[in-house]
Amino acid sequence: MPTLHDEGYRLQIIKRIRSLRRDSPRRWGRMSTDQMLWHVNGGLSMALGQMDIPPQKTPLPRPVMRLVALSLPWPKGLPTMPMFVASGSYDFESERGRCFQLIEQMRAKPLDEDWPRHPLLGQLSGRDASRLQAKHLDHHLKQFGV
C-alpha cells in the first residue's frame, strides 16, 4: 500500500477528493460526503498529533491489530472509534479544504520523525502512519465511488 508521502499516489487521492461532490451517492454505510470528509479529517488530525486520544481497548493485541489494519483489505462497515462518528451536517467545501491542508501537513512531516501513538494500533512508524491514512482515505473515497 502506498503512503501519502508517495507523490503520485497523493496526487491521485487529491484528484479523487476534488471529484467528490456534495451529493455523491454512497455505496455503503450511513455517512454523507460532508460527514465522511469530517471523519477522515479526524483521522488525519489524530495522525499528526493534533488530537489527544487516549489508548482504546482492542479486541486483539495491538501488534495483531496493526498487522490487520495495515495488511488486510478493509471490509465495509468497520466499527468507528466513537470520537470519529459523524453526527449532523458539516460544510462540505470547508471540510474538503481542510482535508487538502491535512494531507499537505502529512506530506510535510518527515517519515523518519517520531509520530504520535495511535490509540488502537500503538506506536507506528512514519511510513505506517502515512500508509494507514492513505488506506483510510482510499477506503472512504471508494465508499462514494471516486
34-50 pLDDT per residue, tens:
999 999 999 999 999 99
Predicted local confidence at residue 80, as pLDDT: 86
53-75 pLDDT per residue, tens:
999 999 899 999 999 999 999 98
Mean pLDDT of the chain: 95
Q: 7-143 — its CATH code?
A: 1.20.120
Domain positions in the chain are 7-143
Give the long-range contacts of residues 121-125, CB within 8 A, separation 24 or more: 121/62, 121/65, 121/66, 121/69, 122/55, 122/62, 122/63, 122/65, 122/66, 124/66
Q: Is the pLDDT of residue 120 over 90?
A: yes
